[in-house]
């Protein structure tokens, strides 16, 4: 009868450890991400358009890298 209690307690501890590990892996930034993929198709959120200033800054940086 005493062995049954030890087994039951060990099973409970194992279940709690598994649940804690599973819940710990659910980070907020991983929620809502694409989990199914289609070859050749991007299924994520569309990128935001760059402002004119950002585009110009990128052009200047690219030109600087070419000249070095």
- pTM for the model: 0.38
Instruction: Please name the residue that has the structure tokens 């950002």.
Output: 54
pLDDT given at position 1: 52
At 55, the pLDDT band (50, 70, 90 cuts) reads very high
**33 Cβ contact partners less than 8 Å away, ≥ 6 residues apart:** 44
Q: Please name every residue paired with 41 in a beta bridge, in sequence order, or none if there are none.
A: 38
Write down the domain spans for the chain: 1-25
């Amino acid at each position: 009868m005493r062995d049954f209690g030890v087994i039951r307690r060990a099973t409970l501890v194992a279940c709690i450890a598994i649940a804690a590990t599973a819940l710990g892996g659910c980070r907020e930034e991983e929620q809502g991400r694409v989990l199914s993929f289609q070859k050749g198709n991007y299924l994520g959120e569309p990128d935001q358009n760059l402002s004119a200033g950002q585009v110009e800054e990128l052009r200047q940086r690219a030109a600087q890298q070419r000249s070095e």
